[in-house]
Amino acid sequence: MAPLLSVENLNVSFVQNHQTLRAVRGISFSIETQKTLGIVGESGCGKSVTALSLMRLLPPSIAAVTAQRLLFDEIELSALPESEMRRVRGNRIAMVFQDPMTALNPLFTCGDQIAEAIVLHRNVRRAEAMARSVELLDNVGIAAPAVVAARYPHQLSGGMRQRVVIAMALACRPMLLIADEPTTALDVTVQAKIIDLLLGLQQELRMSMIMITHDLGIVSAMAHDVLVMYAGEVMENAAANTLFSNPLHPYTKSLLASIPTIERKQARLTVIPGEVPNPHELPSGCPFHPRCYARMERCRTQHPALYTPQTSHQVRCLLYE
């Protein structure tokens, strides 16, 4: 079966102060129907820019997006006129952002905002859309959904607001949901509930998901396939069980070593030294070399290609050349 989404050689650049900043550099991936792709990496690795470029939400005045292919359900997204892209966005592909307050309008009730999304994409009357909003709030596990539909975002807790945003994203039963750090702003117990909710809704709606996160724990709970990004490039790409049982890239290994576990809490947590490089000042050679425990002399000058040392397992590291 053809993948639901196929991305080939996606590049995103921003021009700032006469300088070109390459935020995403030639990434490729695909997502099967009803599967979840986890995109992981630290902040500033290009994960969110990738998601925004798929949704065509980056203003062309500041961002240049190119791709050999952005094929979604047999539609080439990059060739769609904006009027048709609006019919895809929020309808067939929906997005949940990290901070629900930026996705919700403080001036309208939650019910109104969900109904708005339904009216925009479906040919239904306002009253019907409002009734559907209450149903959706019920589906995302909100007790007293009719009461919450009449509330404004500031009257809800962070976890409730994120549920409202999820209800809004699912209003039109999208084929693909892109969730960008959907639980980062929430406390741990609420995080677990939101993850369970997304998993349940994915089954029910038979949708595919892109889960963008810096948290490998969330990826291990949700993803079928994983893309590890660093400095705008794919560092490793594999099925989730392969990546967790047999990580190849030193960056992936370092990320895994920094996940707290009961055993590790008793010892010291591993921290990756240094910081994600500024896209204005990318290191020469391998972009990870200043932080890599396994770097060799040639890593300073030679940019690694994406190698395939094992079937369906890609890694950008000279150790696998």
Cα 10 to the center of its chain, rounded Å: 15
Q: Under DSSP, is residue 29 helix (H, G, I), strand (E, B) or coil?
A: strand
DSSP, residue by residue, 197-247: HHHHHHHHHT-EEEEEES-HHHHHHH-SEEEEEETTEEEEEEEHHHHHHS-
Cα dist. 202→41, 46, 137 in Å? 23, 25, 16
State the binding string over 205-244 for ligand SF4 (x if CB under 6 A, else -). Answer: ----------------------------------------
46 φ/ψ sector (left φ>0, alpha ψ -120 to 50, else beta): left
**Contact call for residue 272 and ligand SF4 (CB under 6 A):** no
Q: How far is the CB of 318 from ligand SF4 (least distance, A)?
A: 4
Contact with ligand SF4 (CB under 6 A) among 47, 163, 289, 313: 289
Place of tokens 């290609």: 305
Q: How far is the CB of 107 from ligand SF4 (least distance, A)?
A: 49
Contact with ligand SF4 (CB under 6 A) among 174, 250, 277, 279: 250
Q: Under DSSP, is residue 76 helix (H, G, I), strand (E, B) or coil?
A: strand
Half-sphere exposure of 304 (CA within 13 A, CB side): 28
Give helix then strand counts, H and E, for the chain: 12, 13
Distance CA 137, CA 286 (A): 47
What one-character DSSP code corresponds to residue 304?
P
**Contact call for residue 286 and ligand SF4 (CB under 6 A):** yes
**Contact call for residue 318 and ligand SF4 (CB under 6 A):** yes
Closer to ligand SF4 by CB, 179 or 286: give it: 286
State the binding string over 296-315 for ligand SF4 (x if CB under 6 A, else -). Answer: x--x----x-----------
Distance CA 298, CA 301 (A): 5
Q: How far is the CB of 247 from ligand SF4 (least distance, A)?
A: 12
Closer to ligand SF4 by CB, 199 or 294: give it: 294
Q: Under DSSP, is residue 184 helix (H, G, I), strand (E, B) or coil?
A: coil
Closer to ligand SF4 by CB, 27 or 318: give it: 318
**Contact call for residue 295 and ligand SF4 (CB under 6 A):** yes
Closer to ligand SF4 by CB, 120 or 294: give it: 294
Q: Which stretch binds ligand SF4 (CB under 6 A): 6-14, 118-126, 141-149, 294-302?
A: 294-302
Closer to ligand SF4 by CB, 137 or 299: give it: 299
Contact with ligand SF4 (CB under 6 A) among 14, 294, 306, 307: 294
Residue whose C-alpha is closest to residue 232's, from 71, 79, 63: 63
Q: What is the CA radius of gyration of the chain?
A: 20
- Count residues binding ligand SF4 (CB under 6 A): 13
Closer to ligand SF4 by CB, 161 or 295: give it: 295
Q: How far is the CB of 219 from ligand SF4 (least distance, A)?
A: 20
Contacts to ligand SF4 by CB under 6 A: 250, 286, 288-289, 292, 294-296, 299, 304, 317-319
